[in-house]
Amino acid sequence: MIDYYDLMETAVVELVRSQLAAYFTDPEKSVTKSDDTHLDQGHDYFCFVYPGVFPAEIFGNQIVTVNWEVILDVFARYNSTEKQAWIDMKKIRAELFWLFNLREIGRTINKHQFVDRVVLSAEDRPRYIPVDVDNPDSGIAFIGQVMVLTVTQRINKS
């Protein structure tokens, strides 16, 4: 059995790590698959990748078309002022938008097998992440936003 989603998710993580290395200075900890345990280790940017839905259609006897949703939960550290935190958040968001919607390497997931289409969008507003999630008055640690990367892939059934 081949886990096509895991292959896609791994390719997305590797692409973010390699193309946005200036933001993710410790990529093994700051860009991960379903692992946010390093969030308190002092990095300014994080991108955690999670599986989403995957609507699929079968065409004929040979092809399955899947729209994989790869969830990117992106964080920018609230270092000094609210103004600077928003500048940092918008900067990383713009880089991700540019990578996946405008650059060839992102629009094809680095020429990943049978990828037809890639679109990054954000359906939710950015949010403030407190220092202590159990105490909302503890101050702000990050500004975060959930983004959805939809990757259309054609998979041969045989």
Residue 154 clears pLDDT 90, i.e. is over it: yes
For residue 26, give every residue at least 6 positions away whose Cβ sits within 8 Å of its Cβ, in sequence order, or none. 38, 41, 43
Residues facing 45 on adjacent strands: 76
The CATH class given to the 4-156 domain equals alpha beta
- Tell me the domain boundaries of the chain: 4-156
Enter the pTM of the model: 0.91
Residue 49 clears pLDDT 90, i.e. is over it: yes
Token pair for 125: 């507003």
The CA-atom distances, in angstroms, between 23 and each of 52, 94, 100, 137, 149 are: 24, 12, 16, 28, 19
Token pair for 135: 């105490």
| Residue type (1 letter), 134 | D
pLDDT of residue 42: 82
pLDDT of residue 134: 78
pLDDT averaged over every residue in the chain: 92
pLDDT of residue 123: 86
